[in-house]
């Protein structure tokens, strides 16, 4: 059977899709790049916030248009977070969909497809079982950058977040399985390895009785062909001195860290059920910048959480101005049913949430421009990603995660391939991008 995938949402979803594709190919199915060529279409959805849910529903309807054509009748499958969260409702409301899967069912996909006939089906398995180890994975022809999932699920009970209900409790992968997959990725041409989980800093506590991320990173650094190791989704209160020391001393670890702090007001952080405080965040950022003066910190913030008044927002705004994060994303609070925050008093009007979000983004734009201008005249190592035009390429520094952060547009007299690392002298800077020439 020929199967086409549409993937929405975060890198963790993209990683799930690659695993599902590998499983299908190992079982004799064929993954195709065009829905018109497919016998089955899989839409791997996101259901985290309202905008993501709407995008997922729109994509399901778009793919439903391919269900039946003159050439063939196609099976439509919806998987992922939206499917797991709203499976029963969607089953009633979307008769166009033949099969609904959750987030832990991909290892069952070949069997489900092989046995499906005409009766619509739902398949949701226990999200709280131990990590399901999948040895198959479909990669691009030149997988110079790849994610590696080190855990599934989440034990943090942030008041605004539904993810623990969707993906279950935290389950770490065995270190030896992670290292084996990382070695295989390196042998396939991967030079940048991106560690992902709902909370990478919680890695190992359930298996080894202690936080083991620092040790995992040390072991990954021993894989010869890997050049960059990047940490995403780190919780501030679990960034240990040992982890900072490993980041500072292991040359392969990018001086980049993603820490979604969400807010800076202690009152709002308590309401969010976060363990961090204003002072602990400032302290951790100080430790990181002392150990690695060139570190680029990415964070994510939420405006308009219930109870956020002008005073709390002003505290957040002043904090962003003071901390001057190199990378920052921001969302207006999304009221998600089934979460404690959805029933809290002090819900903030939508227009106020958006106005506050836009205000911080304008501030961050100014900060980003200044920090980029500081790089003019400096030479940076750039990972080549694509050719823009003859003699012009687009790439990223170690300080930029793929499809999230800044790019470097540079000229060269050489012919380069994606995945090569080159030295580029920066000649100009904009809000979010750099311009340069290969040295």
171, 130 contact by CB (below 8 A): yes
Residue 190 assigned as binding residue? no
Helices (H), 324-408: 350-373
Task: Answer whether 54's CB lies under 8 Å from 91's CB.
Answer: no
- 10 labelled ligand-binding: yes
Q: Which residues contact 326 (CB under 8 A, 6 or more apart)?
A: 296, 297, 298, 368, 371, 399
234 annotated ligand binder: no
| Strand blocks (E) in 49-95 | 75-80
Sheet with 253-258: strands ordered across: 145-149, 192-196, 228-231, 253-258, 296-303, 327-332
Work out the number of other CB atoms within 10 angstroms of the CB of residue 415: 9
Work out the angle at residue 81's Cα, subtended by the Cα atoms of residues 75 and 87, and round it to the nearest 5 degrees.
60
46 is in an annotated binding site: yes
Q: Please say whether the dihedral angle defined by the alpha carbons of residues 320, 321, 323 and 329, taken in this order, is positive or negative.
A: positive
Q: Are 109 and 76 in contact (CB under 8 A)?
A: no
Closest CA to 263 of 252, 273, 248: 273
- Cα–Cα–Cα angle for 254, 256, 261, nearest 5°? 150
Residues 6+ apart with CB under 8 A from 75: 39, 40, 41, 98, 99, 113, 116
Beta carbons of 254 and 423 less than 8 angstroms apart: no
Three-state DSSP state, 101: strand
158 is annotated as contributing to ligand binding: yes
Q: Which residues are annotated as a binding site for [4Fe-4S] cluster?
A: 10, 46, 81, 154, 158, 161
Binding residue ranges: 10, 46, 81, 154, 158, 161
């Amino acid at each position: 059977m020929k199967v086409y995938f549409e993937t929405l949402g975060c890198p963790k979803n993209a990683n799930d899709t690659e695993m599902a594709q590998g499983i299908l190919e190992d079982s004799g199915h064929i993954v195709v790049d065009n829905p018109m060529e497919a016998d089955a279409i899989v839409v791997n959805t996101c259901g985290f916030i309202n905008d993501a849910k709407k995008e997922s529903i729109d994509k399901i309807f778009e793919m439903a248009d391919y269900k039946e054509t003159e050439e063939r009748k196609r099976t439509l499958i919806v998987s992922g977070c939206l499917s797991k969260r709203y499976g029963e409702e969607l089953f009633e409301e979307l008769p166009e969909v033949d099969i609904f899967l959750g987030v832990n069912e991909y290892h069952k996909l070949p069997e489900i497809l092989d046995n499906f006939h005409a009766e619509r089906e739902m398949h949701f398995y226990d999200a709280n079982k131990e990590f399901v180890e999948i040895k198959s994975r479909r990669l691009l022809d030149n997988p110079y950058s790849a994610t590696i999932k080190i855990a599934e699920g989440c034990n943090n009970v942030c008041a605004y977040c539904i993810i623990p209900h969707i993906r279950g409790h935290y389950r770490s992968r065995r270190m030896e399985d992670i290292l084996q997959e990382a070695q295989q990725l390196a042998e396939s041409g991967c030079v940048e390895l991106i560690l992902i989980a709902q909370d990478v800093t919680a890695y190992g506590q359930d298996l080894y009785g202690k936080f083991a991320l620092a040790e995992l990173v040390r072991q990954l650094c021993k894989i010869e062909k890997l050049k960059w190791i990047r940490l995403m989704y780190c919780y501030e209160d679990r960034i240990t001195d040992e982890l900072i020391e490993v980041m500072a001393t292991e040359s392969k670890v990018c001086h980049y860290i993603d820490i979604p702090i969400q807010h800076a007001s202690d009152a709002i952080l308590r309401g969010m059920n976060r363990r961090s405080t204003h002072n602990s965040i400032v302290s951790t950022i100080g430790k990181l910048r002392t150990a690695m003066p060139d570190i680029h910190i990415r964070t994510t913030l939420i405006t308009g959480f219930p109870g956020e008044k002008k005073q709390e927002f002003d505290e957040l705004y002043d904090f962003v101005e003071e901390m001057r994060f190199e990378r920052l994303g921001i969302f207006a609070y999304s009221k998600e049913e089934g979460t404690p925050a959805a029933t809290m008093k002090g819900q903030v009007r939508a227009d106020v949430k958006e106005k506050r979000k836009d205000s911080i983004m304008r501030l961050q734009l100014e900060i980003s421009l200044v920090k980029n201008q500081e790089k003019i005249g400096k030479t940076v190592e750039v990972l080549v990603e694509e050719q823009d035009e003859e003699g012009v390429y687009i790439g990223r520094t170690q300080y930029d995660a793929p499809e999230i952060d800044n790019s470097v547009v540079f000229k060269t007299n050489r012919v380069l391939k994606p995945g090569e690392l080159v030295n580029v002298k920066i000649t100009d800077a904009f809000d979010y991008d750099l311009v340069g020439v290969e040295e």
